Amino acid sequence: MSHSLFLLLLSFLFLPLQGARILFLLPVPLKSHYSQIELLIDTLAIRGHQVTLYSPFEAKSNLTNLHHVYVDMEESKRAIESMNHFEMLDNGLLGDTSFLSCLQFQFSMYQISLGMSKEILNKPAIRSLLASDARFDLIIAEFFFGQVHSTIWPLPGGFTPHRTNL
């Protein structure tokens, strides 16, 4: 190995390392969706990343690298809590694998997520985030928020036209 290459590689050891700026956009009021990623959020903050979290749940940890923004989602929370899963089973929306039943279920989930997306975009905290010049290295968003993300943040791989024109 040449001396110049060795010195170049050695210099990388002394470069200051900094964590990534990560945005977690999890405003959907489903505790099961939030709790499965909560450990990841805390771990990334503990490891030195600057984590910004938008969610309708209070942050359990008080980490210096974790900035939590509370998003009040009471309207969507009431709509979700009013859903009767037993009634959905009786009506064939859950458990029935026929094409029509699957299509009905997908349409109902689309309507729910579209309503939540509209509520999310009208929240002052989200509107101020969109209007700000905040920059992030990584954005992790709730999948129910999918109808909105392609109009706000570009995706690295993009989407096919049938997904972006919903």
**What pLDDT was estimated at residue 124?**
93
For the stretch 87-126, pLDDT in tens is: 766 666 666 667 777 777 777 777 777 778 888 888 999 8
In this prediction the pTM is 0.69
Distance of alpha carbon 164 from alpha carbon 53, whole angstroms: 26
For the stretch 57-77, pLDDT in tens is: 888 888 999 999 999 887 777
CA atoms within 13 A on the CB side of 117: 18
CB 17 within 8 A of CB 46: no
The pLDDT mean for the chain works out to 77
Return the amino acid letter for 97.
Answer: T
Tokens at 123, concatenated: 């929240």
In the predicted model, what is the mean pLDDT of residues 9-31?
A: 78
Taking alpha carbons only, the member of 112, 106, 121 closest to residue 79 is 112
DSSP annotation of 143 reads: G
Domains belonging to the chain, first-starting first, are: 19-73+117-164 (3.40.50)
